[in-house]
Amino acid sequence: MGLMEQKQHFSVNLLDWYMINRRDLPWRRHHNPYFTWVSEIMLQQTRVDTVIPYFNRFIANFPAVQALAEAPEEDVLKNWEGLGYYSRARNLQAAARQVMELHGGEMPQDKQAVFALKGVGPYTAGAILSIAFNQPQPAVDGNVMRVLSRYFLIDEDIMKGSTRVLMEELAGELIPEGRARDFNQALMELGALVCTPKAPHCLTCPVMEQCSGRIAGRELTLPVKTKAKPPRPEQRLVALVEGRGKHRGQVLVRQRPATGLLARMWELPHVLAAPAAAGKVAGPLADEPAMALLAGSLWAEGFAARPEGLATHAEHVFSHIVWNLQVYKCTEQDQGSDELPLIAAEARAAYEVQAATKEMAASVLDAARSASDLDGEMLPEAAEASINSALTQTGKGDGLIYRWIGPKDMEKLAFPNVFLKLLSSYFAGAYDEVSE
């Protein structure tokens, strides 16, 4: 059996299988390029079952390109809340504005024009052109690479750019005349339902007879993929500041900067506890120095708050960082009162007198040495530099926007999931009692 026959067997049988087994998905009910586009962006790094409710709500709120282009960015982010990779949402809206200005509100059918849209790369461009317009363009993602690497027994590392190019050439050759729309979706459908990463269902696969990977017993060792680096851990101290006086019933939140991690998302104020020393993992910080550091950083941002005690722990996992969060319940203090607690006074001094920062660093370092796995071999200068960077990292000149919010305000502001859960728990009455 030659390669030509193997390719034909693949295309014919896969397409036949798809026409019987295709799932009924919301974005497959119409040939609407906007629906295809939105769904493909949402489906980047996110599973179908997760996307469906988000897609339906998004289309209900932004039914066409123009509605998306004209919406406040805040509303778009709120509709994306919980999906992750929030730059996808910002890029999608920026691209909607491109489509309005450059193409009169209609998705272009030219490959270069589609590729030029923000957030649209090689995969998404191919997906839009093939699914929306039935153009014979390959749409190669990790799923397609898994299927092709197994069926054709391709040992190339799929993390390499050159492999994606090779796969695109191959995928393009496999598209049956006039059937790009169904065939590309069939390829992805097979990867999602049959040719799965861990336990492929080879016995029910429509192309198993000529699958070189299965015949060679390699289905579990393909595709070849270099392992990603493990995420670096970060210990962070979070302030859950309970308002008093005119802020009674409210909590202090802030908006992140316009660029970088979680851009423009809202969050509870937090600060890096201590960067890990070289080759070390930053462990939890003892409560006393943690609360001093937190009070100090809040003071630097213009807020007088007294930490009351540890409320809870939380974890937030990114692809490259793990946030280990120590959440402290704090109480807003009246700035005019003589009853500013000692800890806030110390924090004030620390930030008004630069030299006092060293005391903070020393106390944090002492606590870290005794409470964690720091072994004392760390150079004092290096430790001090680390602590200083932690102290100056938050805010200070960044012009972060702070707000006091109640439960109703949660409806408008977009939070990463970890803060969404913490705030929901708080407003539901959790953390009413904390350890002093």
Partner DNA sequence: AACCCGGGGAT
Partner DNA sequence: ATCCCAGGGTT
* Binding residues vs DNA (CB under 7 A): 25, 39-40, 43-50, 82-87, 91, 118-125, 127, 141-143, 146, 160-162, 185, 188-189, 191-192, 196-199, 225, 227, 229, 260-263, 316-321, 416-418
Cα–Cα dist 143/66, whole Å: 32
Tokens matching residue 258: 């316009």
Closest separation in Å from C-beta 52 to DNA: 10
Question: Which residues are marked as active site?
Answer: 40
CA distance readout (Å), 312 to 127, 267, 298? 44, 16, 19
All residues at 6 or more sequence positions from 49 whose CB lies less than 8 Å from its CB, including other chains? none
Residues 426-433: contacts with CB within 8 Å, 24+ apart? Answer: 426/240, 426/251, 427/251, 430/312, 431/240, 431/311, 431/312, 431/327, 431/329
Question: What amino acid is encoded at 236 in this protein?
Answer: R
CA distance readout (Å), 196 to 14, 158, 201, 256, 324? 15, 16, 7, 37, 32
8 Å CB contact between 277 and 386: yes
CB atoms near residue 375 (< 10 Å): 9
Cα–Cα dist 406/252, whole Å: 9
Fill in the DSSP letter of residue 263.
T
Tokens matching residue 206: 């429509």
Residues 305-309: contacts with CB within 8 Å, 24+ apart? Answer: 305/239, 305/241, 305/252, 305/330, 305/331, 305/332, 305/333, 305/344, 306/330, 306/331, 306/333, 306/341, 306/343, 306/344, 307/239, 307/343, 308/434, 308/436, 309/434, 309/435, 309/436
8 Å CB contact between 263 and 275: no
**DSSP labels for 8-58?**
HHHHHHHHHHHHHH----GGGSS--HHHHHHHHHHTTTS-HHHHHHHHHHH
